[in-house]
Amino acid sequence: MRAKFVLSEAATGLWRNVTMTIAMIITTAISLALLGAGGLLYVQIQETKDLLRNKVEVMVFLKDDASPQDKKALEEKFRDDSLVRDFEFESREQAHERFKELFKHSPDFVAGVSKQALPESYRVRLKNPGDYSALADEYKSEKGVSRVSSQQETVSQLFAMIDAIKNTTFIVAVMQAVAALLLMANTIQVAAYSRRREVSIMKLVGASNWYVRLPFVLEAAIAGLIGALLAWLGLVVAKVMLIDKALKPIFTSGLIPVIEWSDIMMTGPILAMVAIVVAGVTGWSTLRFYVKV
């Protein structure tokens, strides 16, 4: 009977302040959706970094007058180098074919570059991509070497841009979360004030503080749970409309790991747990410190 009374009081409170309840649900949904998107983005950034690091190659470009002996000496040093996983020689012809493939949509540009303009090189893959600087310092002064370059600089710029997007998403999510917390607290205060007579009667007949506060805490928890459900549905829609359709070419390129349905499904319970805990703690704290209930 007591459980039924508590649940009915919570439902009555939600309906009685329906406008503020809807506002609280929407604010919570937006903040949790941003939080979930930020979490998924963070995981994908880490996986993308690991994937790209494994694909990063160091280019050791040769001088035009590099002799066969210079090349042989370099290859022997590569084989004995503890930093090098493997390497591959690229001739002018191979470099030119790669160049034509990369810029196949700009035929005029390709026509203006002859194979003689592209130097011979070694494509070196490292055991640890973070050792690029050490390898560059070791080989840049070797005989026959023109310069040492890496995709690390380009990849680092890409990571910096993605990290900025990730950080911005989390900042917005935190701001929305603060707004949701304040709205929850305000809604609970209004609900407690509107039912002050009922609360007074319950206190007079000996109801405990826990029993009096529980309906208000449940109101906040139920609103938070609904907001979490809406946030999860938003992520599902984003998966279908953006990841599986609009952004499909990016993920199918193999450069960025795709966000799987298992990731989306796992995010739902996490958002629900966060919503219930935060809403419950906010409701209890509000009643404990700001409302005489």
Per-residue pLDDT of the chain (293 residues; tens, 9 = 90+): 455 544 565 555 555 667 777 777 787 788 788 778 877 877 777 677 666 666 677 888 888 888 888 888 888 988 988 888 888 888 888 877 877 777 776 777 667 777 777 888 888 888 776 677 787 888 888 888 888 876 666 666 766 776 777 777 677 777 767 776 777 777 777 766 666 676 666 666 666 666 667 777 777 788 888 888 998 998 898 888 877 776 666 555 555 667 778 888 888 898 888 888 887 777 777 766 655 55
Compute the half-sphere exposure of residue 151: CA atoms within 13 Å on the CB side of its CA. Answer: 15
- pLDDT in the model for residue 1: 43
- pLDDT in the model for residue 11: 56
Question: Hey, how many other C-beta atoms are within 10 angstroms of the C-beta on 55?
Answer: 12
Angle 209-238/261-289 helices, nearest 10 degrees?
150
- pLDDT in the model for residue 229: 92
Contact in structure between 56 and 222 (CB atoms under 8 Å) = no
Contact in structure between 293 and 213 (CB atoms under 8 Å) = yes
Which tokens sit at 123?
């494509």
d(CA 59, CA 61): 6
Q: pLDDT of 3-31, one tens digit each?
A: 554 456 555 555 566 777 777 778 778 87
Helix, coil or strand: residue 121: strand
Q: 201-220 b/e with 16+ CB inside 10 Å = b?
A: ebeeeeeeeeebbbbbbbbb
Helix, coil or strand: residue 146: strand
d(CA 50, CA 155): 11
In this structure, what are the phi and psi dihedrals at residue 49, rounded to the nearest 5 degrees? -60, -45
Question: Hey, how many other C-beta atoms are within 10 angstroms of the C-beta on 186?
Answer: 15
- pLDDT in the model for residue 246: 65
- pLDDT in the model for residue 233: 92
d(CA 140, CA 159): 26
d(CA 219, CA 14): 6
Domains of the chain by start residue, with CATH: 2-52+156-289 (no CATH), 57-150 (3.30.70.3040)
Helix, coil or strand: residue 126: strand
Rounded to two decimals, the pTM is 0.59
